[in-house]
Amino acid sequence: MMHLSTPRYDQDRMGIIFRASPRQSDVMIVAGTLTNKMAPALRQVYDQMPEPRWVISMGSCANGGGYYHYSYSVTRGCDRIVPVDIYVPGCPPTAEALMFGATASIHVCGGVAELGLTDGTMFFFRDGTAASV
């Protein structure tokens, strides 16, 4: 997630700013393996977020348990604990994929006009392909 803060991706220009408190957040990014012991803490953080709220599940570990899927202590996807709006695939997900998911959450929230983004925001990936949200 930290690579989004670097000048190459510059999440601030999209209006994406990390907050330390869930009470100041609109979107929660779940990254990494979710254990059964941490599941109640995740739900508690989700419940502290003000309405409206959205959840991004980042990476195969958060999406479905990933490499540790068959472990006895792993929750097989954070969507069993909190409702997930956007899934970002990958192990680990690329910076482009996470930026695409974060921008998609802006479009889901209806904040495109507030941030001054056009409806055809383009993303250019390392392999030369492009996509628009």
pLDDT in tens, 84-133: 888 888 888 888 888 888 777 766 666 544 545 555 555 555 565 655 65
Distance from C-alpha of 130 to C-alpha of 85, rounded to nearest angstrom: 23
Q: Determine the distance from the C-alpha atom of residue 67 to the mean position of all C-alpha atoms in its chain, rounded to a whole number.
A: 19
Residue 55's φ and ψ, nearest 5 degrees, are -125, 130
Distance from C-alpha of 21 to C-alpha of 9, rounded to nearest angstrom: 23
What's the predicted TM-score (pTM) here? 0.75
Range of the domain at 108: 2-132
Total domains, the chain: 1
42 in helix, strand or coil? helix
**Which CATH number do you get for residue 65?**
3.40.50.12280
Per-residue pLDDT reduced to its tens digit, 3-61:
777 777 777 777 777 888 888 888 888 988 999 999 999 999 999 998 888 888 888 88
